[in-house]
């Protein structure tokens, strides 16, 4: 049997809904598929989300040997973690979200994960941390050196690529 491709899931802004969405999605997966994922973010905040939604999942910090439904986690420590609060926009949350994506790109480029899935980030929080990107699409292009990038939304019935980016109304693009 061919092993499943490792899916890297960035936690997004730790102050937002990303951690809870991830835990709920992982809870619904088969043990085999759950162990084929790797959450890239803060292990303590992920465990807190697990407790909040009563998922009861197991977590390990070794992505190569995860099995039995345990969720591999790439813990990314960031500055100002103690300033992160649920539902509050902070530069610390923006910095964390940025660093989770940076680590995911490093893992993908090194061949340790085959795909990146992103939980929501807060653009204003990321801007407050000094990272001025309009979102994941532009950030991923920057980190990989891509000359262009596109966002694809897909479902069983429809696939669509945006023809324009989401621009912040207060910024001149």
Mean pLDDT of the chain: 88
Tokens of 72: 């591999």
pLDDT score, position 108 = 94
The pLDDT-based confidence of 173 (bands split at 50, 70, 90) is very low
Tell me what pLDDT residue 167 has: 53
The pLDDT of residue 151 is: 80
With vertex at residue 102, the alpha carbon angle to CA 98 and CA 106, rounded to the nearest 5 degrees, is 170
59-98 per-position pLDDT tens digit: 988 777 777 888 999 999 998 888 888 899 999 999 999 9
Summarize the confidence of residues 8-28 as an average pLDDT: 95
Give the domains, in start order, of the chain with CATH numbers. Answer: 7-161 (3.40.718.10)
Q: Give residue 4's pLDDT.
A: 62
* Listed residue (128, 71, 62) closest to 95, CA to CA: 128
Q: Please list the residues that pair with 116 across neighbouring strands.
A: 8
Each residue of 30-67: pLDDT tens digit?
998 998 899 999 999 999 999 999 999 999 887 777 77
Q: Give the number of C-alpha atoms closer than 13 A to the C-alpha of residue 37, restricted to the C-beta side.
A: 24
pLDDT at 143 over 90: yes
pLDDT of residue 172: 40
* Chain mean position to CA 139: 13
State pTM to two decimals: 0.87
Phi/psi at 44 (nearest 5 deg)?
-65, -40
């Amino acid at each position: 049997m061919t092993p499943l491709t490792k899916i890297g899931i960035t936690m997004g802004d730790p102050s937002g809904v990303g951690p809870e969405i991830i835990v709920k999605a992982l809870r619904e997966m088969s043990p085999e598929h759950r162990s084929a994922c790797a959450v890239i973010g803060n292990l303590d905040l992920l465990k807190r989300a697990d407790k909040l939604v009563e998922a009861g999942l197991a977590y390990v910090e070794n992505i190569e040997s995860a099995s039995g439904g345990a969720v591999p986690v790439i813990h990314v420590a960031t500055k100002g973690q103690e300033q992160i609060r649920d539902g509050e926009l902070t530069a610390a949350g923006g910095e964390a979200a940025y660093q989770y994506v940076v680590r995911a790109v490093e893992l993908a480029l090194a061949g340790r994960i085959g795909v990146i899935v992103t939980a929501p980030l807060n653009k204003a929080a990321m801007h407050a941390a000094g990272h001025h990107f309009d979102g994941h699409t532009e950030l991923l292009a920057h980190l990989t050196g891509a000359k262009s990038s596109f966002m694809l939304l897909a479902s069983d019935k429809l696939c669509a690529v945006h023809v324009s980016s989401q621009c912040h109304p207060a910024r001149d693009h």
